[in-house]
Amino acid sequence: MFAYIIRRLIGAVILLFVVSMVTFAIFFLVPRIAGATVEDMASRYVGKTADEAAIHSMAERLGFTDPLYEQYGRFVAGIFAGADYDTGAEVVHCPAPCFGYSFITRNPVWPDLVDRMGVTISLALGAAVIWLAFGVGTGVVSALRRGTFFDRASMGIALAGVSLPIFFTGLLSLTIFSYGLGWTAPGGSYTDFAEDPLQWAGALILPWITLAFLNAAGYARLTRATMLETMNEDFIRTARAKGLNERTVVVKHGLRSVLTPILTIFGLDLGILLGGAVLTESTYSLPGLGKYAVDAIVSNDLPKVLGVTLVGATFIIIANLVVDLLYAVVDPRVRYS
């Protein structure tokens, strides 16, 4: 088991390297392939008085003229050892972990990411709790009461949930609950948990529910389908043959097996979400990683986009790793040696 963890960890690190390499290449190579010159790329970062030579020297300072692998090498080195950025006027130190330096807002990207992460984590975890509880619960009950009104109604609602874009439901909910009824905080009113837990929850409750509604739908459907399949398994029959009551059969024998696929999907979903709930954050103007990325893309602030993408990828990879390790806990058949 221990060896397995180590092996998976190493695998995750390698994966992260590859992902970062590809991401880096896409952001710095694709524009070049598409016809942008290094001067084009550098011209975003120079002042208004810059002439051709100044732009070119900026491109050189930024390292755009170096081969891509050297640029990438510097970037990776920065993550571990920190990096120095020559803005032309001064050399700015970006302490480790340095996920790049924005020449547009003139600050290292990492502190921003850390700052925004709190919002995204708050949003993602809160919503996850709600959708897990509701999604899995509804799915189980639906499976056990297959064909009943509850089953049809909840599956209908679940389908509606996955059939609506979140910015639609989000805006609708804001219209009704914030501006119409005044029950919840308007969009864009985020408060840190540490500052005021009540306001924090108040500002997030609507995004939580909206996001959870969307996801719960999928989980309910998945849980129901898996549950139906599981309840037809031989071991369920065995459990019944032992004379166990139905509750024990469902919870201890049925649900336990449903956990594995739920866990897989949940890990992936949460990982993706932690890297920035782009649509939800945009809809509710929550200053999380997703909003940060979208804003950065609008202002063409590549280092920020790269930073968020890498953090997002890291979350996904970590989530996958955790899921894999949890497999071992949940499913003893997954043998590690």
Residues 253-282 that bind other proteins (CB under 8 A): 253, 256-257, 268, 272, 275-276, 278-279, 282
User: Out of 10, 148, 183, 299, which residue is the one contacting other proteins (CB under 8 A)?
Assistant: 299
60 makes contact with other proteins (CB under 8 A): no
189 makes contact with other proteins (CB under 8 A): yes
User: Out of 30, 81, 96, 114, which residue is the one contacting other proteins (CB under 8 A)?
Assistant: 30
26 makes contact with other proteins (CB under 8 A): yes
DSSP-assigned letters across all residues of 120-189? HHHHHHHHHHHHHHHHHHHHHHHHHTTTSHHHHHHHHHHHHHHHS-HHHHHHHHIIIIIIIS--SPPTT-
Contacting residues for 248 by C-beta, under 8 A, at least 6 apart? 239
> In the numeric block, which tokens belong to residue 30?
């694709």
Which lies closer to other proteins via its Cβ, residue 131 or residue 315?
315
Write the CA distances from 307 to 76, 97, 252, 297, integer angstroms: 12, 11, 43, 12
Question: Is residue 221 a contact partner of residue 158, using CB atoms and an 8 Å limit?
Answer: yes
Q: Smallest distance from the beta carbon of 77 to other proteins, in angstroms? A: 22
3 makes contact with other proteins (CB under 8 A): no
183 makes contact with other proteins (CB under 8 A): no
247 makes contact with other proteins (CB under 8 A): no
User: Out of 6, 9, 10, 160, which residue is the one contacting other proteins (CB under 8 A)?
Assistant: 160
User: Out of 63, 100, 135, 187, which residue is the one contacting other proteins (CB under 8 A)?
Assistant: 187
107 makes contact with other proteins (CB under 8 A): yes
User: Out of 15, 68, 205, 325, which residue is the one contacting other proteins (CB under 8 A)?
Assistant: 15
User: Out of 211, 293, 303, 323, which residue is the one contacting other proteins (CB under 8 A)?
Assistant: 293
> In the numeric block, which tokens belong to residue 205?
């409750």
Q: In terms of C-beta density within 10 A (0-12 exposed, 13-18 middle, 19 or more buried), how is residue 89 classed?
A: exposed
Which lies closer to other proteins via its Cβ, residue 91 or residue 129?
91
Binding residues for other proteins restricted to 116-145, rule: CB under 8 A: none
Question: Is residue 79 a contact partner of residue 62, using CB atoms and an 8 Å limit?
Answer: no
Q: In terms of C-beta density within 10 A (0-12 exposed, 13-18 middle, 19 or more buried), how is residue 315 classed?
A: buried
Q: Which stretch binds other proteins (CB under 8 A): 65-73, 129-137, 194-202, 315-323?
A: 315-323
CA 291-297-298 angle, to 5 degrees, is: 90
